[in-house]
Amino acid sequence: MNSEPGPKNIALLGSTGSIGENSLDVVRQHPEHFRISYLTAYRNTEKLIAQAREFRPTGVVIADPALYDTVKEALRGICEVYAGQDGILTILQDPQVNLVLNALVGAAGLLPTYRAILAGKQVALANKESLVMAGQLISRAVRQLNVHLLPIDSEHSAIWQCLQGERRENIRRIILTASGGPFRTWTREKMKRVTVEQALAHPNWAMGPKITIDSATLMNKGLEVIEAYWLYQVRLEQIEVVIHPQSIIHSTVEFVDGSVKAQLGVPDMRIPIQYALTYPERLPLQVEYLSLARIRQLTFEPPDLKRFPALELAYQALRSGGTAPAVLNVANEVAVQRFLQKEIGFLDIPRVVEKTLQAHAVQNDYSIDNLLEIEKWTREFANRV
């Protein structure tokens, strides 16, 4: 599985979130194949300390510098402790690390993804925002440095698996499936009264709060459309979204001869995580196995862009190009956070995003530094909205 001797050494960014915890469970099942070299967390010191005591990494990073002393004292004699974004960027340079699994949430994952690629590391990517914000820069760096970018999102893992042995020029359509979230059948009038607790109750997946809200608004699917555009180098009109409430078919690829490939499985993130870690091979995994006879029925419907305008905003941002998707992403982060804090309503989320996009002057040529400045402007403007 690994061309280098010994286990694959992994720097796991965002180890205390849902993707991070599922990734550690995969590592637990295959200790002979994987070693955790580094763990990072934002503020969850209790979970980070427990993970470090179990996996004995070379080091950990606590992103909030105010918590450095707490973690340092708890892990004295166990591993090195770093703090802040500088700490994350430092561990990416360690030559022993040959795979970076980026499970950070939001724009915070952009710079680590970019720096890991520049350092020549394989990147297993759960942070879709990296490609949403800087797809042009990251795609160019991946090609120039011949680095593997391994998708972890279940939809993009499905497409990746469907494309094995296929030629990209034979793709007719990529069809991303979406559960539709908890409000799939609700009217706009009823959605005006959505509570945070209702929005966090995803029918199929166990995810962190930000991604769960994005799934409820369908913004998550919009971000995945942009991610697919950069990962698979297809035209925007070749990417479609279909609502599939059962979340069993994770995505499909249609080819020019009319043949369609689909990847199916129970909704368990450990499956796409392990595929990224073991590619191009597969290993056994202790998960629930799919029984089509028990499920009996799979259903599909088109997305309703009037009830869920966030998806259309993502398409518009990608058509605008340049820095528009970065603004879309950051404005959405701000709006979701304000909703989670019960300061705005559920339907206000896409409104904040739309107004911020309308105020932004798109830049077609940009650098990472430009994007960081645009991120700052977007946060300030969206918060004012």
**b (16+ CB within 10 A) / e for 312-344:** bbbbbbbebebbbbbbbbbbbbbbbbbbbeeeb
Domains of the chain (ranges, CATH numbers): 8-151 (3.40.50.720), 162-267+291-384 (1.10.1740.10)
Order of strands across the sheet that contains 8-13: 80-83, 59-62, 34-41, 8-13, 99-102, 122-125, 149-151
Strand partners, 13: 40, 102
Neighbour tally for 84: CB within 10 Å: 15
In terms of C-beta density within 10 A (0-12 exposed, 13-18 middle, 19 or more buried), how is residue 57 classed? buried
Phi and psi at 250, nearest 5°, equal: -90, -20
Q: Regarding beta strands 239-243 and 171-178, do their DSSP bridges make them parallel or antiparallel, or are they unpaired?
A: parallel
Round to whole Å and give the CA distance between 71 and 67: 7
In the chain (385 residues long), the average pLDDT of successive 10-residue segments reads 70 96 98 97 97 98 97 98 97 97 94 97 96 96 96 97 96 97 95 95 81 95 97 96 97 98 96 97 96 95 96 97 97 97 97 98 94 96 96
Strand partners, 242: 177
Secondary structure class of 56 (helix, strand, coil): coil
pLDDT for 269 equals 95
Residue with tokens 């400045």: 373
Neighbour tally for 18: CB within 10 Å: 19
Find all residues with CB under 8 Å of 232, minimum gap 6, and list them: 159, 163, 168, 171, 174
Secondary structure class of 172 (helix, strand, coil): strand
Q: What's the pTM?
A: 0.93
- The answer to whether the CB of 59 falls within 8 A of the CB of 91 is yes
Round to whole Å and give the CA distance between 154 and 151: 8
Secondary structure class of 10 (helix, strand, coil): strand
Find all residues with CB under 8 Å of 145, minimum gap 6, and list them: 117, 118, 120
Cα-based distances in Å from 90 to 11, 59, 68, 82, 227: 11, 11, 15, 9, 27
Q: Which of 59, 183, 132, 157 is nearest to 353 (CA)?
A: 132
- The answer to whether the CB of 353 falls within 8 A of the CB of 335 is yes
pLDDT for 5 equals 58
Token pair recorded at residue 208: 């962190």
pLDDT for 296 equals 93
Round to whole Å and give the CA distance between 305 and 353: 15
Token pair recorded at residue 31: 């200790």
Phi and psi at 239, nearest 5°, equal: -110, 120
- The answer to whether the CB of 239 falls within 8 A of the CB of 227 is no
Q: Name the region of 247 (left: φ>0; alpha: ψ -120 to 50; beta: rest).
A: left
- The answer to whether the CB of 249 falls within 8 A of the CB of 236 is no
Round to whole Å and give the CA distance between 139 and 382: 28
